[in-house]
Homo-oligomer: A and B are copies of this chain.
Amino acid sequence: MTNEKLLSDFKDVLKKEGLKVTPQRIAVLEEIIKDKGHRESEDIYMAIKSRKTHVSRATVYRTLDILVQNGFARKLNLGDGRARYETKIDSPHHDHIICNECGKIIEFVNDEIEKMQEEIAKQHHFKLQQHIHQLFGLCKECQ
């Protein structure tokens, strides 16, 4: 998806929800699509500030929520007390392998596991809604 299309989609969503298009909101969207990584709110806040747009932490959090709520971003909990956000645009579902030493994050997908999860849920009469699957260990460099 082109950045122009994305921006226009975002504006449409804001309009549809009765929200205003502000430079702060645009800046957060731009940060999320610019860097494909798994970023902390603080990083995004700093990146925006270090450029031109005046923004507050509160607004970054609020905008990230909007992005997550509307399918532009995904929020991850890696268990270290700080949420990470990654773009969801052109990014199908995947899970993560995290290095306990250097924090490197690698993405993986395994259709077999995805299928099995559904079966396990069914066995226990659960209607599956989401899942968290994270592998932790030492990356090649950190072993």
- Mark A residues whose CB is within 8 Å of B: 77, 79, 97, 99-100, 106, 108, 110, 112-113, 116-117, 120-121, 123-140, 143
A-B contact pairs, 10 of them (CB 8 A): A106-B124, A112-B112, A121-B137, A125-B139, A126-B135, A126-B137, A127-B137, A128-B135, A128-B137, A132-B133
Complex Cα distance, B77 from A120, in Å, reads 21
Chain B proximity of A87: nearest CB distance (Å): 21
Candidates B79, B100, B116, B127; contact of A138 at CB < 8 Å: B127
Chain B residue at smallest Cβ distance from A141:
B125
B131:A134 contact, CB within 8 angstroms: yes
Q: Given the complex, which residues of B lie within 8 Å of A125, measured CB to CB?
A: 139-140
Q: Given the complex, which residues of B lie within 8 Å of A77, measured CB to CB?
A: 77, 79
Candidates B97, B108, B112, B117; contact of A135 at CB < 8 Å: B117
Chain B proximity of A41: nearest CB distance (Å): 15
B140:A121 contact, CB within 8 angstroms: no
Complex Cα distance, B53 from A33, in Å, reads 55
Q: Given the complex, which residues of B lie within 8 Å of A110, measured CB to CB?
A: 116, 120
